[in-house]
Each structure stands twice: as structure tokens, then as C-alpha cells.
Structure 1
Amino acid sequence: MEKFTHAAVSPPNHGTPAMAFGKHVIRMMAANTGGSFGMFEATVPPGEGPPLHMHEREDEFFRVLSGRFGFWCAGDYVELTEGGCIALPRGVPHRFRNVGESEGHIMVVVTPGGFENFFPIIELCKPETPEQIASVAMDFGLTFLPVEGRKVA
């Protein structure tokens, strides 16, 4: 991977679309930032969001671009609307959900980069069973966790 010595730019309406677990647009890749970070945007329908999960490798920063989102992390819950930001640490179970009544949009920065490739890989592999999804996720240091006995929603 090349060193991060030049500006990484993502002009408006550019990026690599990935239709996996919803609509994602990869805006910056680790390959363009010397591995420092990756960035993507997600369009999330009302009531949708990932299940409880944990990242082994990266911290995540979210900025709500539109809509209303609930974030659960380490037993805490916060709701954010447009302009709101939250940072979630690696190694801590968390999830988010669009708790609004309309489609929402979020920007996600992962550091270090690399996880932004998860969605294009899922789109390419098209795993069908929870076991197949978990296998791909494991390659990215991502673990989906059971909800039983946890206070998350």
C-alpha cells in the first residue's frame, strides 16, 4: 500500500456503489489513504440497520447526513439527527437503526481503513445463509452477536 502523501478526493456524486445490505457508496478507500481510513455513505430505510455486531480492527465515526438514527453502544443509547456525530470504539458491541419515518443517510469513516471493502465483497460473493455471511464478515474482523440477554433495544 502506498504512503498517504497526496490528497484523497471524492467529488460530489462520485464513489463506488455497492448494493449489499442496502445501498452503500464507497467514497474513500484505504488504498487511497495509505490505510489510514476508509469512508462510505449508506442509505438506510426506516426501521433498518445492522444487527448487534463488533469490529476487531477499526473504530467507526458516523455523521448523520439526513434522517434520525438510534445508536446502541456498550449499554448506552443516543439518537442523532442531521449533523449529529458519534464515534464507536473497536471491540465494543454496537448497532444503529434508522428510527425515523423516512429514508436516512449516514457517512461512516473507519480507521484504519479496509472495512469499506466489506460491502462490495458481499455484493460480489452474494452469500445466502447466515453462516456464509459470517464467514465473509470474519475475514473483515466483523462478528455478528446474538441479541439474547443484551440490553440493546
Structure 2
Amino acid sequence: MTRRTGSFTRAAASPAGQGQVALGFGPHLIRITAADTGGALGLFEAHIPPGGGPPLHIHEREDELLQVVAGRFGFWCGEDYVEMDAGGCIALPRGIAHRFQNVGETDGTLLCTVTPGGFEAFFGAVGAAGEARALEIAEQFGVRFILG
């Protein structure tokens, strides 16, 4: 279980369009990191082309809150499926297999909050090491992909 590594006693701000670009599995804009919040949460934008999205996977360490900023997305979580347009949001619990996909015809954007923070660093780690090492890196972040 990930625990807070420090105090979170000041605002962690991320002005529009600012953050650190991470290129693992496409462009992600890391807006707020675990280091910014004493480990409490991380926040990033995922830019996803039509048909794109991760395979079925399980997070062992964090819960996720995803808000559709642009486009239309389908979300699978356990036995549930829902589609949402911009403005919709969904909370996904740790330990439950889930995935999402851009089911629209245009590029889409998700704003993703993870709590506790830390997973937001996954995309930079994959970008630096290469996607061929993604499964190994995922294991280090407490994520298991369910392939096949």
C-alpha cells in the first residue's frame, strides 16, 4: 500500500496547459505529482486517439477518478460498462479489472486523478525505458495487465 511520504499543507496548482509531458503510451501531460501533494494524489491528462485506450488492467495501489474533457469514451469496470461524453466522470476502485477506450470519432482527452499519488510517473518511466519494457515497469507500479 502506498502511503503519504510527506505533508500536504499547501496548494498544488497547475495552470492551464502547463505540466510535464510524458510520452509512454502516447502523450500524457503530468499536471500534479505525488511529490507536490505529499503522496496524496497525482493528476494527469491523457490524450487518446479514436479506438485508443489501455488493455484490461488492475491497479493494486490506487483508486482512479477520470473525467472526460473532450471526446466520447467507454469505460469497463468489473461487470459494468458506461459511455460518456465531455463532462462525464467515473471513479474506478483499485483491485478491480478495468479499461477505457475512446469510442468517438475524434481525439479525446481524459483528466485522471490517482489516489494515493505515484502512478502518474508510470508514463514517463515507460517513455524513458521504451514500451517493450512496459509490463516490467507496470509491475513496479503495482499494475497488472490482463492480456489475451
Q: For the superposition of Structure 1 and Structure 2, which TM-score range results when normalised by the shorter chain? A: over 0.9
Query: How do 1:38-57 and structure 2 match up within 5 A?
Result: 38-57=42-61
Question: Which residue number in structure 2 is paired with residue 63 of structure 1?
Answer: 67
- 1:140 has 2:141 as partner: yes
Alignment partner of 1:122 is 2:104: no
1:95-127 deviation line (CA, Å, top 9, x unaligned):
000000000001000000000000001111114
C-alpha distance in 1 between matches for 2:46 and 2:131: 20
Instruction: State the match for 2:36 in structure 1.
Output: 32
Q: Quote the offset at 1:75 in angstroms.
A: 1.4
Indicate the residue corresponding to 1:20 in structure 2. 24
1:90 aligns to what?
94
2 CA distance for matches of 1:133 and 1:14?
26
Unaligned segments of structure 1, at least 5 residues: 148-153
For residue 108 of structure 1, the aligned residue among 109, 112, 120 is 112
CA contact (8 A) 2:47 2:108 kept: yes
State how many pairs are aligned.
144
Alpha-carbon separation, structure 1, partners of 2:17 and 2:71:
19
After TM superposition, list the pairs within 5 Å mapping 1:74-85 onto structure 2: 74-85=78-89
What TM-score, normalized by structure 2, do the two folds share?
A: 0.95
**Deviation digits for residues 74-102 of structure 1 (CA, Å, limit 9, x no counterpart):** 01100010000000000000000000000
Give me the whole-angstrom Cα distance separating, in 2, the residues matched to 1:125 and 1:44. 21
The C-alpha deviation readout for 1:30-84, integer Å capped at 9, x for no partner, is 0010110000001100000000000000000000001000000001100010000
Deviation at 1:12, TM superposition (A): 1.0
SS in 1 for 2:123: helix
Give the drift of 1:2.
3.0
TM-score after normalising by structure 1: 0.92
Q: How far apart in 1 are the matches of 2:71 and 2:134? A: 28
Q: Is the 8 A contact 2:25 2:131 kept in 1?
A: no
Paired residue type of 1:101: E
Residue from 9, 14, 18 that aligns with 1:10 = 14
Q: Tell me what 1:151 maps to.
A: none
Structure 1's consecutive aligned runs of 4 or more residues displaced over 4 angstroms after TM superposition are: none
